[in-house]
Structure 1
Amino acid sequence: MQQLLKRSALWQLLLAFSFLLGLTSCGDEPDPYDPYANYDYEAQAKADDAMIQAYFKANNITDTVKTASGLYYKVLKPGTGAKPVAGQKVSVHYIGKLVQNEYVFDSSWKRVYPFEFQVGAGKVIKGWDEGLPLMQEGEKAILFIPSHLGYGPVGSYPSIPSGAPLMFEVDLLDIL
């Protein structure tokens, strides 16, 4: 019985030590493996905006509208239909490019079939959920999307690097 008590006391001491060790390791130190832990969103937003502005200047792009979130929107061909609202399904054709070098990373035209999704359901990047409701059915526009409304600090392997601002030429075909 005495050996059992000694073993029990030893286990209790070991358990208490492990618990205290666990508590001390739960500090406010950022996780070095978490891509969001050390990410400076404000600095990245400024860098994204500077890159988008430089693209506008280099390509003589004017008449853009900037939203509060930092999304830029330019109408290429006006539409005549209604604007989609959250919850509605839309059909679009698009080309996605990197702002920094115009590298085409995706295109529904290349796949032939339009892309269909529900606006505001979180199935696409935030820049699309914000930008599509600005468009009218039949409209063609370019959305210039800062990285925090795109793929953020992790990017999308293999074609979209971390912190990359994007541009999408979007043709809103139908509100379904």
Structure 2
Amino acid sequence: FTEIPSSGGVKALELREGSGEVPVDGDQVAIHYYGRLAAKQGWRFDSTYDHKDATGDPIPFVFTIGSGKVRQ
């Protein structure tokens, strides 16, 4: 786990590194994630894998880099 700077103690674990170019401001990216609470023995509080489209596939979280709408 790596602690995210200025996050108040939030830690991240990268399970699989992407293979594309590193995104820059203005790029739209799509990610899948699991949000878990360490204090609750790994209790999952959110995940993109819980949200499915009409065919049953998980819906990724999509956002634009540098838009200010997603914060660490």
Unaligned runs of 5+ in 2: 53-58
| TM-score, scaled to structure 2 | 0.62
Question: What's the CA shift for 1:84?
Answer: 1.2
Unaligned runs of 5+ in 1: 1-63, 128-176
Q: How does 1:131-170 map to 2 (within 5 A)?
A: none
**How far apart, in 1, do the equivalents of 2:3 and 2:46 lie?**
24
| TM-score, scaled to structure 1 | 0.30
Q: Which has the higher contact order (CA 8 A, sep 6+)?
A: 2
Give, as a single letter, the amino acid of the residue that structure 2 aligns with 1:122.
Answer: G
Give, as a single letter, the amino acid of the residue that structure 1 aligns with 2:38.
Answer: V
RMSD: 2.3
- CA change 1:120–1:94 in 2 (3 A) is same
Aligned residues: 62
Match in the other structure for 1:78 = 17
Higher-strand-fraction structure = 2
Question: What's the CA shift for 1:66?
Answer: 5.0
Secondary structure in 2 matching 1:77:
coil
Question: What's the CA shift for 1:89?
Answer: 0.8
Which structure's CA Rg is the greater one? 1
Moved over 4 A (4+): 64-67, 70-73
